[in-house]
Amino acid sequence: MRGLGIREWLESQGHEYIVTDDKEGLDSVLEKHIPDLHVLISTPFHPAYVTAERIKKAKNLELLLTAGIGSDHIDLNAAAAAGLTVAEVTGSNTVSVAEDELMRILILTRNFVPGYHQAITGEWNVAGIAHRAYDLEGKTVGTVGAGRIGKLLLQRLKPFNVNLLYHDRLKIEPELEKELGATYEEDLDEMLPKCDIIVINTPLTDKTRGLFDKNRIAKLKKGVLIVNNARGAIMDTQAVADACSSGHIAGYSGDVWFPQPAPKDHPWRYMPNHAMTPHISGTTIDAQLRYAAGVKDMLERHFKGEDFPEQNYIVKQGELASQYR
């Protein structure tokens, strides 16, 4: 959906609407327009990195909107200091991402990717796939983060008869926790070694950047599977590649990289036992319709001087949302 399908509406209101993929460098289209911008809309999938330097140049900027979920491509502290509003379309692609995570868990558990490669290269070596393929039932799955996406994933995993663990700042409501059959783990480092499969569902913040470094990965169960559709920078890139090469991580899948788009020589492209894709988990047609509608709604409210739904704010009146503090 090019330009979120809102060009005609915006131009009919007398606004100028510029859509570009040229976002990096001093000669980029975005850089040339920064001094004139009133509103900047970006996506987490191919983000426009909004640095403190860019915010300083953007003398007319009022609003930064994320068409999707996750605003870590913006220097949020600089945005708060400059009095800017930052908002995203909360909930727009939670179902899409949770479904994608479940798919990746099964792809890794069943060793699907080598089987697919055999099909397209004319091979037929069942033993070559089966020696690393397992049932999901009976495994211990832990999610690091149990917000909107984490809860949806836990709900979808329950019918597989797995042992569900979760770590978060906050406990899930007792009734839902009981319904899910999930166990709260207050200490992340106590939870992780128990897990056969780890799913990352926490936002990228100063506290979670590089959370999975060489030392923490070394403490994981040998042969662990990891799914990360949250943010690539939560992982130490080289530490993940090394652990996949040694077999300590038996499989790694996700759609998030650092930086994005991932350069052609990014180590995750070439490490063994991965099932990586570009950042696609939240870009289903259904999700695109939801976040396009959400962006239009917030623009309408902005032009009228009205507040957004409270859960959409990431920075409001100089304050960061709790998950980014």
Binding residues: 69, 93-94, 148-149, 168, 203-207, 229, 255, 279-282
Active-site hit among 73, 279, 290, 302: 279
* Residues annotated within a binding site for NAD(+): 94, 148-149, 168, 203-207, 229, 255, 279-282
What are the C-alpha distances in Å from 209 to residues 203, 240, 277?
Answer: 9, 14, 21
- Selecting among 231, 266, 290, 302, the annotated active-site residue is 231
60 given a catalytic annotation = no
Which residue among 93, 201, 273, 288 is the active-site one? Answer: 93
Say how far apart CA 138 and CA 154 lie, in whole Å.
Answer: 15
Question: Coil, strand or helix: which one is 39?
Answer: strand
Q: By the 8 A CB rule, do 191 and 142 touch?
A: yes
Question: What is the enclosing helix (H) or strand (E) of 126?
Answer: helix 126-130
Dist CA 322 CA 152 (whole Å): 21
| Residues facing 40 on adjacent strands | 64
248 is catalytic: no
Alpha carbons 108 and 136: distance in angstroms, whole number = 10
Query: Which residue of the set 260, 273, 288, 312 is catalytic?
Result: 260
Known binding positions for substrate: 69, 93
Query: Does 279 participate in catalysis according to the annotation?
Result: yes
Answer yes or no: 231 catalytic. yes
Strands 249-254 and 224-228: parallel
**Active-site annotation, residues:** 93, 231, 260, 279
